[in-house]
Amino acid sequence: MKRNNVQAITLALELAMKQKPNVVVYGEDAGNVGGVFRATKGLQAKFGVNRCFDAPISEAVIAGSAVGMAINGLNPIIEMQFSGFSFPAFQQLLCHAARMRNRSRGRFTCQMVVRMPSYDWNNGNNGALEHHSEAIEALFCHIPGVKVVMTSKPNDTKKLLLAAIESPDPVIVLECLGTYFNSYTSNNYTYDVREEVSDAYEVAVLGKAKVLKEYKSEEKPDLTIVTYGSKVYDCEAAVKILEEKENFKIELIDLQTLQPWDEETVVNSVKKTGRLLVVSEAVRSFSVASEIITVVNEKCFEYLECPPTRLTGYDITVPLSKGEKWFIISPDKIMKKVKIMMNYPV
């Protein structure tokens, strides 16, 4: 049946709880009402208050208790109400969850999942507060011992969440709030987020990107776009217009896992195209985009036909309502950047 991302998340959690008796789900309002966005709705009724329950309004306690549960054999899945609320939990995630395997020399692992909605400004018209609008994936990616996932489409969201639950190490699952429900709007573009998602227990491979559009090497594609999260939809729209109107051949890659990221897939594409554009909503400096471009420079330098480029948010605090539309990366901005790259040098 067709599902949106919230429904795909609920399905994945239900499948995991059915298959794994040690899985517990909790967070602020996650039990009785199903979380602020209802991603855990109905799970308490199906599995009881001991396996799906509300947590105190204390992110440090939520994360710290999950570490204790994990090293004692449970498989906790915790929900941070927004990624901007996760900072009080950072010590538990960095100092304990991420280091437990190394600290105990393999005696203990932290098999836990931290879910959190991110990028509240994605639909460009909700006037979210700044603490609801964090783009902090690079902070998590910088922590050795933690895996980081960023969801985009419902079918992949289900598979990635199940893969995160099965991982023996802690996984941060960042869910783009703007793509949670049936449609996603980015400035003047609106997309249907729903797609067919089966009820089967299907697991993705963490660390493997998804190539959404690919060309054979003999066709000599023109450019590689690497993106993740909600920008997958904007990049797809931009690529479609550019191929129809400009006849550009563009390979499009959805990273899906940000740490570890799929270097091989990206490098192989850039070696074919000679051009790389990384699209992300996060701030520009010290970002996931920066890491990708650095690796491409190291491994593809002799193949490049123009400088690898990033199209990102600005190095500013997320603007309030009236400034949102200027901050958002839209298909128009993507198309403009691609045309500049295709005309290099000018």
Write out the catalytic residue numbers.
Answer: 132
**Cβ-based neighbours of 251, under 8 Å, separated by 6 or more:** 211, 213, 214, 215, 221, 223, 224, 225, 269, 272, 273
Residue 212's SS3 state is: strand
Residue 174's SS3 state is: strand
Dist CA 115 CA 78 (whole Å) = 6
Is the omega angle on the peptide bond into residue 345 within 30 degrees of 0, that is, cis?
yes
Dump strand ranges (E) for the chain: 2-3, 23-27, 52-54, 75-79, 113-118, 147-150, 171-176, 183-186, 189-192, 195-196, 210-213, 223-227, 250-254, 257-259, 276-283, 309-313
**Cβ-based neighbours of 101, under 8 Å, separated by 6 or more:** 108, 109, 110, 145, 169
Dist CA 57 CA 63 (whole Å) = 12
Residue 229 in contact with residue 174, Cβ under 8 Å? yes
Please name the amino acid found at residue 125. Answer: N
Closest by CA to 130, choosing from 344, 321, 303, 288, is: 321
DSSP 22-83: TEEEEETT-SSS--TT-TTTTHHHHH-TTTEEE--S-HHHHHHHHHHHHHTT-EEEEE-SSG
Closest by CA to 106, choosing from 22, 172, 168, 20, is: 168
Residue 204's SS3 state is: coil
